[in-house]
Amino acid sequence: MRTERRVWIRSARTGAVCLAVCALSLQLGGLSTAAPNSGSSGSSGSSGSLGSVEGSVSSGSTIPGPLQEDPGPKPDLRDDIVVPAIVGEKVTAPQAVRLTVASPALRREVGVEILLPADNSVPRPALYMLEGVDAGEKSSGWMTIGGAPAFFADKNVNVVMLNGGIASLYSDWENPDPRLGLHKWETFITEELPPLIDARLETNGINAIAGNSMGAMGAMMLAQRFPDMYRGVAVFSGCYSTMDPLGRTAVQATISSRSGDPANIWGVPGGPEWEAHDSLINAEKLRGKEIYVSTANGLPGSDETLQTPELLERLVIGGGIEVAAHACTKMFDARLQELKIPAQVDYEPNGTHAWAYWRERLPKAWPTLSRALGV
């Protein structure tokens, strides 16, 4: 039992244990992960409608206390930040800079890492990139282990990566959380940050957004909630609903995995704000965008070898997480087919929920993103 508990706690540190719990809870409980019956060939049948919450999980469906990860100290809040502003700038590499941005919405300063275009002689577009549940305050996973610096070195795009947002879903929460603090990331990402980025980098005003795991859910939410802001979206191994059992469990487990209270995000589960953040229900708002979605199937892939650190954890936990992401992706794919909204959806043959695979999929997403960005 002690060994099993250590494995679960380590998996919480690596991120997104929420989706593994989703998969297990739905399988054990016999809840359907199929898309609602739409009558289209791309959907699987179900008795509920897209807006139905019948049979969905309760507000208590969270990660058990002993398995919750300590999110660390909450950032200190300030009352003297009244306008968004870049208050610091540091060159971190020949083609990279880290900005410090003062945010009235978050009531603190936020780090923003930027990869600059290979050629910035003319205005270039911006790609915003979000990451998983353990989004750190010091650096983005896309910078450290996601392969972004090498991949974008020859691309003519400004890549904007946020620091912070642990277990936030990059959303505006209804209430501050006792453990996670103040989350007003939607306001920061869509209102405060873009004018500063556009002015500082002299962009051409064209934007796209991408994300993995929790960041995939957040990116798709922002794309459908702010359809005029993003011309394209690319997501890897995420869940895109909030009202059905799988989506609601994903949200609740994401938050509680880092000791947060899901009651603080959008009010009562199944309420209007939960529906407003459901990208299946609101998929029509994605029409006209360039869309890339990918997932693996949870089976061992090329990166699972006898030399893989913590191989058992990768296979059991990472595999279960990706199984749930696969189910979420199939539901989303079916919804897009129902609405006849074009999208590139890649079902990778094998692979678990790990950065090694997201590094591999980034080049596969680039044709879609480059079309959206016009580069």
What mean pLDDT do residues 94-117 have? 98
CA–CA distance, 7 with 23 (Å, rounded to integer) = 17
Of 173, 226, 182, the closest CA to residue 71 belongs to 182
Q: Examine the pLDDT at 158 and tell me if it is beyond 80.
A: yes
pLDDT value of position 314: 61
Give the number of other CB atoms < 10 A from CB of residue 59.
Answer: 13
Q: Examine the pLDDT at 198 and tell me if it is beyond 70.
A: yes
Q: Examine the pLDDT at 43 and tell me if it is beyond 60.
A: no
Res. 69 pLDDT band, cuts 50 70 90:
confident
- The mean-pLDDT minimum among 35-44, 69-78, 266-275 falls in 35-44
Res. 335 pLDDT band, cuts 50 70 90:
very high
CA–CA distance, 375 with 358 (Å, rounded to integer) = 22
**Exposure string over 67-91, b if 16+ CB within 10 A, otherwise e:** bbbebeeebeeeeebeebeeeeeee
Of 332, 131, 127, the closest CA to residue 224 belongs to 332
Q: Examine the pLDDT at 294 and tell me if it is beyond 70.
A: yes
For the sheet containing 158-162, what is the strand order? Answer: 85-93, 96-103, 108-115, 158-162, 126-130, 207-212, 232-236, 290-295, 344-347
pLDDT tens profile 241-285: 999 999 999 999 899 989 999 999 999 989 999 999 999 999 999
The burial of 288, by beta-carbon neighbours within 10 Å (0-12 exposed, 13-18 middle, 19 or more buried), is given as: exposed
The burial of 340, by beta-carbon neighbours within 10 Å (0-12 exposed, 13-18 middle, 19 or more buried), is given as: exposed
pLDDT value of position 97: 98
Res. 301 pLDDT band, cuts 50 70 90:
low
CA–CA distance, 296 with 353 (Å, rounded to integer) = 8
Q: What is the mean pLDDT of the chain?
A: 84
Res. 5 pLDDT band, cuts 50 70 90:
very low
pLDDT tens profile 309-327: 776 666 556 667 788 899 9
Q: CA separation (Å) from 182 to 71, 73, 214, 273?
A: 13, 12, 18, 18
pLDDT value of position 311: 63
pLDDT value of position 308: 65
Q: Examine the pLDDT at 371 and tell me if it is beyond 60.
A: yes
Q: Examine the pLDDT at 56 and tell me if it is beyond 60.
A: no
pLDDT value of position 375: 95
Q: Which two tokens stand for residue 299?
A: 């089976």
What mean pLDDT do residues 77-89 have? 97
CA–CA distance, 224 with 356 (Å, rounded to integer) = 28
Strand partners, 88: 100
- pLDDT higher for 355 or 200? 200
Of 345, 237, 165, 293, the closest CA to residue 20 belongs to 237
Q: Examine the pLDDT at 348 and tell me if it is beyond 80.
A: yes
- The mean-pLDDT minimum among 66-75, 101-110, 339-348, 362-371 falls in 66-75
- The mean-pLDDT minimum among 34-48, 86-100, 112-126, 166-180 falls in 34-48
Q: pTM, whole model, 2 decimals?
A: 0.86
Res. 7 pLDDT band, cuts 50 70 90:
very low
